[in-house]
């Protein structure tokens, strides 16, 4: 399964690394790999400076809703308010992108992430980890989804690998 992360407030790299450290400590969870960190401009009306984004591959015995609760706890522990306004800058944002072949469409949790297929800042790091991974709804690989967005690709920041 894959978790997207981003930060555009404060020490972005420190926030992302702290989130990864906490993710690795979740019960029944193992952090397998982390993509290169990429910089991107804020999208979808989000305030603040450039984002630092990455994707983590994890294995977990946690159910999707349990995992979501833990991710929200990690966000809160790193300074993201529970009543965070959607367009505000953020110390950390953690999203379940894919949970195996699970497809959920509940009011509080949608898997696969509903906007991942149109977000270069999600797809580029995901392709770095799993270029042939197939989206369980769209039935396209991550590479195919990224190609649909056009040729522009964000550059990896040197020295910022986990």
Q: What's the rounded Cα separation, in Å, for the pair 17 and 161?
A: 10
CATH number, domain of 51, equals 3.30.70.560
| 155 falls within a domain | no
| 118 falls within a domain | yes
Q: At what angle do helices 64-77 and 12-24 cross, to 10 degrees?
A: 140
| 161 falls within a domain | no
Per annotation, catalytic residue among 80, 115, 119, 153:
80
**What's the pLDDT tens digit per position in 37-63?**
999 988 888 888 899 999 999 999 999
Per annotation, catalytic residue among 90, 134, 148, 153:
90
Q: What's the rounded Cα separation, in Å, for the pair 12 and 119?
A: 19
| 157 falls within a domain | no
Split into its structural domains, the chain has a count of 1
**What's the pLDDT tens digit per position in 139-154?**
999 999 999 998 864 4
Per annotation, catalytic residue among 95, 106, 115, 153:
95
Written as six digits, the tokens of 30 are: 């193992």
Q: What's the rounded Cα separation, in Å, for the pair 3 and 71?
A: 9
| 153 falls within a domain | no
Per annotation, catalytic residue among 11, 30, 33, 93:
93
Quickly count: other Cβ atoms within 10 Å of residue 61's Cβ: 11
| 154 falls within a domain | no
Angle at 83 between CA 82 and CA 84, to 5 degrees: 90
Give residue 21's domain range.
Answer: 2-148
The reply to whether the predicted model has a pTM over 0.95 is: no
Q: Please name every residue paired with 59 in a beta bridge, in sequence order, or none if there are none.
A: 30
| Catalytic annotation present for 95 | yes
User: For residues 6 and 75, is the Cβ–Cβ distance under 8 A?
Assistant: no
Q: How far is CA 156 from CA 35, 40, 53, 117, in A?
A: 10, 10, 10, 20
Provide the pLDDT for residue 31. 97
User: For residues 85 and 100, is the Cβ–Cβ distance under 8 A?
Assistant: no
| 77 falls within a domain | yes
């Amino acid at each position: 399964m894959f978790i997207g992360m981003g930060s555009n407030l404060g020490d972005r790299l420190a926030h992302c690394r702290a989130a990864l450290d906490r993710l690795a400590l979740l019960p029944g969870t193992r952090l397998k790999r982390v993509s290169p960190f990429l910089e991107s401009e804020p999208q979808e009306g989000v305030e603040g400076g450039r984002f630092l984004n990455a994707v983590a591959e994890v294995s977990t015995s946690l159910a999707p809703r349990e995992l979501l609760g833990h991710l929200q706890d990690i966000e809160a522990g790193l300074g993201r308010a529970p009543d965070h306004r959607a367009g505000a800058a953020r110390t950390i944002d953690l999203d379940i992108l894919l949970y195996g072949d699970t497809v959920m469409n509940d009011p509080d949790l949608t898997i696969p992430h509903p906007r991942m297929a149109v977000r270069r800042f999600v797809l580029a790091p995901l392709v770095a980890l799993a270029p042939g991974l197939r989206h369980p709804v769209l039935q396209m690989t991550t590479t195919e989804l990224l190609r649909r967005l056009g040729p522009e690709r964000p550059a990896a920041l040197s020295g910022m690998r986990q």
